[in-house]
Structure 1
Amino acid sequence: MLFHFMSPLALSNSYFLAFRPREEKSQPRLSTPRFSSQRTLFLTENNQKKLPFFQARHHWMEDYKYLFKVVLVGNAGVGKTCLVRKFTQGIFPPGQSATIGVDFMIKTVKVGNDKIKLQIWDTAGQERFRSITQSYYRSAHAIVLVYDVSCQPSFDCLPEWLGEIESYANRRVLKILVGNKVDKGDEREVPERIGRDFSDVNHFDYFLETSALDATNVDQLFEQVATRLTNDMKITDERVHQYRADATNSSSNQGGPIKLIDRAQTQLNSCCSRQ
């Protein structure tokens, strides 16, 4: 099911929260996401099951371990929408028109024994939509920057896109560089080595080449996103639990409550900080 929004997503508290089901008492309690229309989202995602609103909301919130927001950016025509639809729906839409504003789709994947819900935002690449798409960087857990290996200009624009990411996104956001349309072998203009070098020099967390047409590395791309974010989240959870345990022990030894150190509180607020 495809969702379309022209206005920014409203998220509560820190822009770098990973959302979790409320019933997990052993996990830190975090705010649940606030969408422009929760009723629309919950009912649309479960419309084939014809669930009442309260049941659909319960199902949506509890059937996953973490929810991560993934934003795809890059020039118009590089294949962002095709990548998203290939991963979420298993189809390659022929004659796909340019995205207007921002669209998003949701898919649940497994990381180990955990269900991870990916909220994947497909942004428009045209200049006139930049002011809209920039607002989506702030709450992203991962940003996927896409270029077309058969279009040198799309690669030449990467420094501009990278500048926007550095200006508007959280400094600890997971950054992935993707060279798409590798199926156009005879038309390739950007060698893989050039893309990999750009990724290394600019400190991206991961680089790979993909094809939405023949599904090359499409699943691997989003599985990497889910795995890396989940691992980071679990590390952060362990640290938060250790901070709380240390604070409790200190409080018991001193006979009274003590305040958590600033570092612990900062870690709890950011919740998904990366190494």
Structure 2
Amino acid sequence: MATVSTKTGQEVDRLTLDSMLRRRMFYTPSFEIYGGVSGLYDYGPPGTALIANMTDAWRKHFVLEEDMLEVDCTMLTPHEILKTSGHVDKFADWMCKDPKTGEIFRADHLVEEVLENRLKGDKEARGQKVEVDAEKEAKKKKKSKAAQAVKLDDALVKEYEETLAKIDNFDGPDLEEIIKKYNIRNPATDGEVQPPVAFNLMFQTSIGPSSNMPGYLRPETAQGQFLNFQKLLEYNQQAMPFASASIGKSFRNEISPPCWSVACA
């Protein structure tokens, strides 16, 4: 993770910065008085002003200076559209569950955490210096056991490193095989986890009072731009190339233990 620095180059502690931003109400956890929901945040007055300034600068550069065609499309999308695009079948992450605690994990992140923890313990056992991300380490301490200083076989270290380098390329069966092969367990309880299953990241809803038209909150803003391509081409008098731009919210039901979270972009 990149470090945060001041104009003079002085490094800023991420946890201190986060605390300051919340205290001054740049943003605050949503529904905090009811316990909150992981991943949901409200922007306060300074945060709202900052977003407005960023949006204004973005629009001036891309829409006005670069002459892009701006559109503002609906956030509701019928099932048929996202079925055709592949989102219904493939827009998913792989998750696994600890059957004893009920805790949910995103499978690739679980593999990453456990293997990185083991590699860290190997380096400590070898007397090597271990680089520590303060923010990441603080989060781990809340839910994971400390890395044990255990020296690993050189070949196993190489396997772990190769697995981590390719982690984004693995699907469910691949992750299941890795979890079994390396005995990946719940970092906090050391309990076994169930095989990964696909979890679609879109929020499903129904359009209209009859509930006969299933739909979703859009997972990305670009969908409306693709669907309006022909009309934008006609608006641009059939001239190519051209570019379109869109500002708005998209919704994803992210896997974030110990509860679900929402990513709104």
Shorter-chain TM-score bucket reads under 0.3
Taking structure 2 as the reference length, what is the TM-score of the superposition? 0.24
TM-score (norm 1): 0.23
Name the larger-Rg structure: 2
